[in-house]
Amino acid sequence: MTNFNIDRVSEDIKREISVAIRDIKDPRVAGKLVSITQCMLTNDLSYCKLYVSCMGSEAKTDKAVAALTDASGFFKRRINQRIKLRKLPELIFLPDNSLDYYEHIEKVIEGLPKAEEDKAE
């Protein structure tokens, strides 16, 4: 498969799982603002890493990741019904820590000494 096709299939999987999350009855996910921020599919379609973001604490995100991992069979059936693939990838749900990383970098930048502006005359 070309990169274009893998990217397209990856986006299709991300979209289907994002829609299917609304049907999950698990209290760790139901009613929470849980979203899939990124979907990375391997070239051989064996594995699909899905990064999960949840509004709130890191503990809520970890619980949401656990709930989505428990529901991976449901997601695989849903993908199989909507996207025709020869081989269904193994779904790996991971917490998305990019926002925490962004906040850390922002604090580091704020802590740097200010550069004096050269006065051009």
Q: Which residue has the higher pLDDT, 67 or 104?
A: 67
Averaged pLDDT for residues 9-32: 90
Output the pLDDT for position 113: 84
**What is residue 60's predicted lDDT score, i.e. its pLDDT?**
87
Residue 87 pLDDT > 80 = yes
Q: What is the rounded distance in angstroms from the CA atom of residue 12 to the CA atom of residue 120? A: 54
Tell me if residue 91 falls in helix, strand or coil: strand
What does the pLDDT average to over 100-106?
77
Higher pLDDT, 28 or 56: 28
Q: How many CB atoms lie within 10 A of CB 44?
A: 10
